[in-house]
Structure 1
């Protein structure tokens, strides 16, 4: 029997365009897009999941192709295998240290062999490169994942992300070659920005990828009371195979796929200890589940700082949901609590009438905060570090009270490691709760920031908000059990391997799962104790989940990676050792598959970076609308004009036009100083074949070694060359001397935006690095907000003098030398 599954949110599903003629219909003079299919096959048994992801690539060019695809995976899943298939040949991937894997891949591609490599850039963000795909050939790459469903409030959730959302990239561009093929420039704060910034398809383009998802659900004794999906799907009952859920044809890969399984009897999930012995039965892996005890947590005064993201990427339904969520959080505060509200984009705003310090949670103060929140709109860049620093300072020195930080955001930033590094010592002892609002949320970052003492709640639609806020209300209170401790009582537990660490506190409705390794025979028990009055002894039973060891390895590696970015760089060896021993991908290892047959003599390839959909619900603002024009007239940052995205596609060149993509990557806005197109083509200093740590971020995990790009013939002087651009902008600025000061400010803002967008296309021309560096610096200065007429005039004169300097001030020889004409 087949039944339609209830949608989590009917309004969030984008209809398939009527002009979609099917696979391969998106044709340009450069050919079709290389990625033609994504197939997800998952088997859920109880609360464990096994997923096979297949990515299909098709070369429609008349020359060999190297395709790069930046894609997401569940951040807590373990990638345990890879294989590549083409031309009737199947090659299994080998897990190697990341630098060694890259060298293996690059050498194979240069020698003309078919090869692929899978690398982890962030928790949940991965890069797949496939080299030497012959003309007309199809290559498939299969990844195997082991995961576990989250279980809270009687509902198990399977989440599979399908698109990497644009991320805000702070910092100043660094000199040198980019380390990846993305559209963002590497900066001193995000030295691998070009590896996490795939080009984005403009809205309205036909669906370029054939997406199929099929999930087999074996409840394994759990009584299912309902199934919900975030995408249109059909469920089929099969007595022999349980429940089968299939995604309906035509859906786009523009949001997370969620499957929520309501469990009819919450007692079906119980406190238990499961063990999976190694082959020799002399050691193995254990998983301990601790259910919340009955009763209520003791109430006492809290200090709560609410940090709300109002940046451009939060536009539309997300801003509405974020305002409602924040207001609900303020309403949960009691008379014994103190609080502060910080709303941020490129600056931090607070409710008028409230003190700069923590305020008493009186009715009057809470009303002022809610009134302030109700009037917030999305704008500007996601400068998240400053408000989080301020929140940590507000909570500093209040150790006698429960200290809570609540962050409401989509999490779409590129400098996650920098934030974790700087905030780790400041937030020691602070309970951090994160509320992620997006249909393609940055779950990995939000979970890492919440750590083990707080909770991460994800909201994928406005309809989901009320349900999520009920959970948040329970989580933001005091935990039921703290200071959990696991000790051996017959089972020889290795306490140094326990993950996550520290062990999470226990909140209402949210079981805690702890994994680790033990030595000796798989017999005995463990004792679990916690404050205020939890103590129980559990006897081990054999697990039927063969992926338990991989799941522990992934959790242990995640803990080690998070410690690594806070400065404990000596942990790199342990991360690599654990990754290779248990066959689980990490940020220091990579899967590489090489077909030893030479298929492309000479190894010359066309490089193409696969564009992705703009996430569902994201807005592309109209650069000509009134609010944007008013902001420009005031010299403020705006959510700027849409421009052409460039796919990194050439025989060794940088971004070239095509595919109707949008430029600047962070399509939600043109941010202030430090946005994605604020400087010259970048790269990072190298150390041992890998990028050196970013300033202020010691021990950052490796990004990628630079890939040298050749330069094609000079582009024609068609208005996008440096020479033509400087002449045009000089004419505009020289003609503006008599303009009102704010009209001049608006003209300078527009100039800044044009520079940011065009810097990417200039990488393919013979434009000198020095000139692009100068313009990048000018763009950053022009974009910085100011309300001082004298400062506007200073910047106006600076812009004129800079452009006149680039033009050689009329000297033909100087111009020719400078522009390499």
Structure 2
């Protein structure tokens, strides 16, 4: 089968031979060491360029190259100076190595290995540290991004300037064509026992290193394919307790500097008063923003024969659950976007049976047919709408996160953060961590990632619960430290707190600190109109052998805060970012790692040939169907994927790096060596899953919370209308009886999905109470008899 657009690259050997990743997880922080081995098998010197994804909040802190027995360690320098030094080194025949962060998105990096001699090998070592996010089930999520999806950049983006010099080129190929291998291992240690480690990829069995089970190792099983991100979920016993870690400064650094003074990392898990948490908000303006770009037509996971549900169909079902779970008295609207955007209502409308029927009918017809990923325009439109008095705005954004103008979007969300909270959802492998985490962080909300076999609905419902929690306001942090010790907080102010969710604070400690000294931090806030606080006492004694991890994460936090400031284009702010980056050895948008092999006196002769290392992309995310799929009744047209329309030999403008243009090589479906089950692909694209009975029941619930006693309900419950009528206790109203039957069915058959329907059930119980109808033990017993259940009245909340 002809493979258009990739032939030029595939005809040449790819110099990257292997990637080896070692992860050291300490409690909730990971240090990642990647070793990339390059080998030039051609008869002329090469420049190898690799553009690859990185966790958006990672602090890259080491970059070096080993050639033979010689190691060259890179320095952090101002980006333009580093680029010029790299170009000068290549021009003079010297070997040089450059690592730089994208100007537009902090989760994309470019690595250039310059002047690799014929038959020469180089080993590149890249090290970064990153925080691990807390999941809904209290697991800690580590993700090694292995899949690079095309990042859609609007052509009229106001922050993407520069000439269209094609310096950086991304070649994307299906995972089966990636010509280099990956080995991955992780070592986990914690003060608390490691209960389990799970992954979306095949792992060798977990190996414990001590009897207490506080240390363990795990490896990626052999034969891993580059068809998904590598995700680890790490579970500790009694994991999420408030903690503090003080790290000694670098002995070679100047006292009083960020790296010379001790650094502090606080992990706070606020516990809210139970009486304040018992109430659920009965108001709010809920705005849902759904991605309908072509890439949303991909399968939600890439797990072999499980590829059934598409991202867009999962998002439609999730919207159904969310809309039905909204409280009576609120307002809502639904936007969808691609190359353009649409909204169901001109402005947010009051929640009623009529409005939700209109909305859900529109949602059910939504397809991934709107082209690119222009998320900026609908966001601007939403923010221009006047806020409704006494209805706090809550924004839910669903996207596979493949955009290039990340910083422009985050600046917009931050600018409007006082008027709303933003909850974000990254769907599928390759979603931009910088975008998804950034939206939630700048919008004072919460981020979720849906990958592998994850279902979107439970995570969306957890975020809705957060949105329905009383908003925490007037947050302040008070420090109580010894007299001669002062604190310089490096993190941005805390803007949001959620029950049981971690908040991190980084700080620099200055002054003389006695060995046995203790400190205390108090987080004060107002919740549901009443003042509350949480305290944490901690030792100021520095820990041993921490490897400056806290310092680097603190520097990264400070750098990100400075980059997001309103005056980011101000030269003084930029200079401060460069100063912190150079001092700490941590990358930023304005610096790069540069290493030049100056000791080798012999200049490299001959013209330098460029080789772009292909990055893996999910097959369904990047490719239209092969010609043989034309006979498939519903074979899709070539579509936008992450914003790129794939046609033969088409070049897609995408200003990924400032003063550069990224070109995606198009029509990269597969050749004879690619692994694909054609019938399976057709199934994914043409067949809808049978409607889930739970979702059918959800669809039938009325806006007020009740169900109607009709044929549709009987079908879902597996009964006939006559059976339901005959079993109804005589004095009970039909709607009351139907609602009790629905609740009995949920508690009797769907307890495993309680997270998804709990808010619906609460609304139903509120409706039943409002009816003041007799629905006691007799009524529940009759429902149990009909449904074959044994649910108690108390379990229903009656």
> What is the TM-score of this pair, normalised by structure 1?
0.69
2:234 paired with 1:261: yes
Other-structure match for 1:217: 188
1:40 CA displacement = 0.7
Match of 2:550 among 536, 548, 555: 548
Is the CA contact (8 Å cut-off) linking 2:245 and 2:264 kept in structure 1? yes
- Tell me the equivalent position of 2:426: 436
The residue aligned with 1:468 is 459
Q: Is 2:335 aligned against 1:337?
A: no
What aligned pairs does 1:529-678 form with structure 2 within 5 A after superposition?
529-532=524-527, 533-541=531-539, 542=541, 544=543, 545=546, 546-563=548-565, 570-596=572-598, 597-598=600-601, 600-602=603-605, 604-615=607-618, 617-618=620-621, 620-622=623-625, 639-640=638-639, 677=651
Aligned-CA RMSD value: 3.6
Residues 601 and 197 (structure 1 numbering): CA distance in 2 closer, same or farther, change over 3 Å?
Answer: closer
Q: Is the 8 A contact 1:64 1:600 kept in 2?
A: no
Change (3 A) 1:568 1:96: closer
Q: Does the CA contact (< 8 Å) of 2:166 and 2:661 recur in 1?
A: no
Equivalent of residue 401 in structure 1, options 386, 391, 395: 391
Task: Measure the CA separation in 1 of the matches of 2:165 and 2:229.
Answer: 22
Q: Give the Cα–Cα distance (whole angstroms) in 2 for the partners of residues 576 and 476 of structure 1.
A: 37
Distance 1:526 1:350 in 2: 45
Counterpart for residue 515 of structure 1: 506
Partner of 2:735: none
Query: Structure 1 residue 150 and structure 2 residue 141: aligned?
Result: no
Report whether the alignment pairs 1:315 with 2:297: yes
Aligned twin of 2:403: 413
CA contact (8 A) 1:110 1:604 kept: no
Secondary structure at 1:234 match in 2 = coil
> How far apart, in 2, do the equivalents of 1:237 and 1:552 lie?
32
Is the CA contact 1:211–1:249 (under 8 Å) kept in the aligned structure 2? no
Residue deviations 1:392-415 (CA, integer Å, cap 9, x gap): 123x33363311111100110112
- Of the three residues 282, 289, 295, the one matched with 2:267 is 289
Secondary structure at 2:419 match in 1:
coil
Hey, what's the Cα distance between the residues in 2 that align with 1:109 and 1:242? 46
How far the C-alpha of 1:577 sits from its partner, in A, is: 0.9
Q: Give CA deviations for 1:236-283 in whole Å, capped at 9, x if unaligned.
A: 323248221111122123322111012332xx4322333224257874
TM-aligned CA deviation for residue 210 of structure 1: 0.6
Q: Which residue of 2 aligns with 1:137?
A: 120
Q: Find 2:179's aligned residue among 208, 211, 231.
A: 208
* Structure 2: gaps spanning 5 or more residues: 1-6, 299-309, 668-798
1:558 deviation in Å? Answer: 1.1
Q: Does 1:525 align with 2:498?
A: no
Kept after mapping to 2: 8 A contact 1:497/1:556: no
| 1:272 maps onto 2:271 in alignment | no
Moved more, 127-136 or 399-408: 399-408
Q: How does 1:8-407 map to 2 (within 5 A)?
A: 30-121=11-102, 122-153=105-136, 154-171=138-155, 198-201=170-173, 203=174, 205-218=176-189, 220-240=190-210, 242-265=215-238, 268-278=239-249, 283-294=261-272, 295=274, 296=277, 298=279, 299-316=281-298, 317-351=310-344, 355-379=345-369, 380-394=371-385, 396-398=386-388, 400-407=390-397
Pick closer, same or farther for the CA change 1:74–1:565 going to 2, 3 Å: farther
Superimposed CA distance per residue, residues 182-213 of structure 1 (whole angstroms, 9 cap, x where no aligned partner): xxxxx957978967761112x37444111111
Do 2:36 and 2:123's aligned partners in 1 also have CA atoms closer than 8 Å? yes
Judge conservation of contact 1:169–1:193 (CA < 8 Å) in 2.
Answer: no
Q: Provide the secondary structure at the position in 1 that maps to 2:415.
A: helix
Helix, strand or coil: the match of 1:468? Answer: helix
- Structure 2 CA distance for partners of 1:262 and 1:143, relative to 1, 3 Å: same
Question: Structure 1 residues 88 and 278, CA, compared in 2 at 3 Å: closer, same or farther?
Answer: closer
Q: What is residue 490 of structure 2 aligned with on the other side? A: 498
Deviates more, 1:109-118 or 1:568-577: 568-577
- Give, in angstroms, the shift of residue 606 of structure 1: 0.2
Instruction: Compute the displacement of 1:706 (Å).
Output: 9.6
Q: Distance in 1 between matches of 2:175 and 2:264?
A: 49
Distance in structure 1 (CA, Å) of the matches to 2:164 and 2:291: 23
Query: Structure 1 630/389 Cα, relative in aligned 2: closer, same or farther at 3 Å?
Result: farther
Conserved? CA contact 1:308–1:408, under 8 Å: yes
Assess, with a 3 A threshold, how the Cα gap between structure 1 residues 480 and 511 changes in structure 2: closer, same or farther.
farther
Q: Tell me whether 1:703 sits opposite 2:658 in the alignment.
A: yes
Decide whether aligned partners of structure 1 residues 757 and 88 sit closer, same or farther in structure 2, where only a CA change above 3 A counts: same
User: Does the 8 Å CA contact 2:403/2:642 hold for their aligned counterparts?
Assistant: no
Label 1:279 to 1:669 Cα distance change in 2 as closer, same or farther (>3 A). closer
Cα distance in 2 for partners of 1:71, 1:269 equals 32
Tell me how far apart the structure 1 counterparts of residues 510 and 223 of structure 2 sit (CA, whole Å). 50
Decide whether the 8 Å contact of 1:307 with 1:344 is kept in 2: yes
SS in 1 for 2:476: strand
Alpha-carbon distance, 1:584 to partner = 0.8
Write the distance in 2 (CA, Å) between the matches of 1:413 and 1:193.
20
Q: Is the 8 A contact 2:170 2:665 kept in 1?
A: no
Secondary structure at the residue paired with 1:250? Answer: coil
Contact 1:200 1:665 in 2 (8 A): no
Structure 1 residue 346 displacement after superposition: 2.0
SS of 2:231's equivalent in the other structure is: strand
Q: Are the structure 2 counterparts of residues 190 and 157 from structure 1 closer, same or farther at C-alpha, using a change threshold of 3 Å?
A: farther
Query: Structure 1 204/228 Cα, relative in aligned 2: closer, same or farther at 3 Å?
Result: closer
Kept in 1, the 8 Å contact 2:139–2:233? The answer is: yes
How far apart are residue 666 of structure 1 and its match?
A: 5.2
- Distance, in Å, in 1 between the alignment partners of 2:408 and 2:72 is 38
Structure 1 residues 141 and 400: CA distance shift in structure 2, 3 A: same
Q: Residue 429 of structure 2: SS of its match in structure 1?
A: coil
**TM-score of the two chains, using structure 2 as the length reference:** 0.71
Q: Structure 1 residue 497: deviation in Å?
A: 3.5
SS at match of 1:75: coil
Q: CA deviation at 1:586?
A: 0.9
Change (3 A) 1:554 1:580: same
Report the Cα offset of residue 510 of structure 1. 1.2
